[in-house]
Amino acid sequence: MAPVLACAALSMVGCARTGVTEPAAPKALSQQAASTGGSEVAVPSMQKLAPPSPLVAAQPSPPPQCPADSGWSCPQQQRFTAAADYISRHVSGQGYLSVVFTDRQTGKAWRVGPTQHEGWTASTIKLAMATDLLRRQRAHQITLTPTDRRDMAAMLHSSDNAASDRLWARFGGEEMLARFRNQYGMTRLHFVPGFTAKTYWGFVKCTADDLAALLNYAFAQLDAADRAYLVSAMRGVAPNQQWGVWAAGSEQRPGNKDGWSYETDAYGKHWVTNTIGFAGPGERYLIAVMYQVDPGGTLAGGVQAVSDVVALLFGVPVPAHITVPAPDG
């Protein structure tokens, strides 16, 4: 990837149907998280990931009492419990890890962690760019040339920064942010001042709820052909993005747009490892995970943490198999 703009930041942007068969329930469960269906769970402070334990397969266990009115099956409530327990056990200190898990079939959403905490988007914002370009092309507001199409494909496939820069400059730059906020539901999205004289896609923050809103828009509002393009592109990402939502497992046919970057702000100098995407038959489940890693943490630790959380949400053994991207994208 091309380096990001020369600026005062220490920022390297990395560059993230019905009839579903329930995966096996995970091993570790607690009564508290099992009863949380659809609501946000308070998570203790967060940190870098502890060394992974040996691979542990999800084992069946006697189901706890599962609230029948939660809107989630008992096995899924157990998986929520396992994910929340993992975060409590493996993430502590001062990081911020948050998850929004949405069932498109029922409209229910489950949250854990500070989903309103504003953190760096890293390259997850590129999905918003692609969504905007596809919608505007469909509305005959812009014309995407073959070169533009190649740039959009590269932006989604390998998180190509140079391609993203060209699309940002050609199709409105800062004007895109207003559409992301007002049309796609990313209400807390904002440019972080102090880096360049002009706004730039690489220097923005939002929340996990904002990323969930973007996914909801793309899968509910885009033209079916444009949505199919995104699904295909996100299923075919390069190895540097085969983590995060990818950890749902091949049987779930996931697709994702990951974002990873090393940032400097009031929190300190720290890694960001975010992942957004879909999994399940008919792209039933939408997942948004943001992790502003503790300043003492590592890129590999952040990538492992978000991947393990997704794996547990789908009953997959952890630690998840991951491909750690190069620090410079």
Q: What is the pLDDT of residue 216?
A: 98
CA 131 distance to own-chain centroid: 15
Position 284 in a domain: yes
Position 111 in a domain: yes
Position 99 in a domain: yes
Range of the domain at 208: 94-313
Q: What is the pLDDT of residue 63?
A: 52
Q: What is the pLDDT of residue 59?
A: 46
Q: What is the pLDDT of residue 152?
A: 98
Position 78 in a domain: no
Beginning with the edge strand found earlier in the chain, give each strand of the sheet holding 204-206 in spatial order. Answer: 119-120, 204-206, 190-191
Q: What is the pLDDT of residue 95?
A: 87
Q: What is the pLDDT of residue 171?
A: 96
Q: What is the pLDDT along the chain (329 residues), one digit of tens a residue?
A: 433 333 333 343 344 333 333 444 333 333 333 334 344 433 333 333 444 444 444 444 545 578 877 889 999 999 999 999 999 988 866 689 999 999 999 999 999 999 999 999 999 999 999 999 999 999 999 999 999 999 999 999 999 999 999 999 999 888 999 999 999 999 999 999 876 657 789 999 999 999 999 999 999 999 999 999 999 999 999 999 999 999 999 999 999 999 999 999 888 999 999 999 999 999 999 999 999 999 999 999 999 999 999 999 999 999 999 999 998 65
For position 142, which CATH number holds?
Answer: 3.40.710.10
Is there a contact between 237 and 256 (Cβ–Cβ < 8 Å)? Answer: yes
Cα dihedral angle (315, 317, 320, 321), rounded to 10 degrees? -120
Position 243 in a domain: yes
Position 31 in a domain: no
Position 101 in a domain: yes
C-alpha 104/C-alpha 53 separation (Å) is 33
Q: What is the pLDDT of residue 65?
A: 74
Question: For the chain, what is the domain count?
Answer: 1
Position 7 in a domain: no
Model confidence over 300-317: pLDDT tens digits? 999 999 999 999 999 999
Model confidence over 202-257: pLDDT tens digits? 999 999 999 999 999 999 999 999 999 999 999 999 999 999 999 999 999 999 99
- 136 burial via Cβ count (<10 Å: 0-12, 13-18, 19+): middle
pTM comes to 0.81
Query: What contacts 137, CB < 8 A, 6 or more positions away?
Result: 143, 144
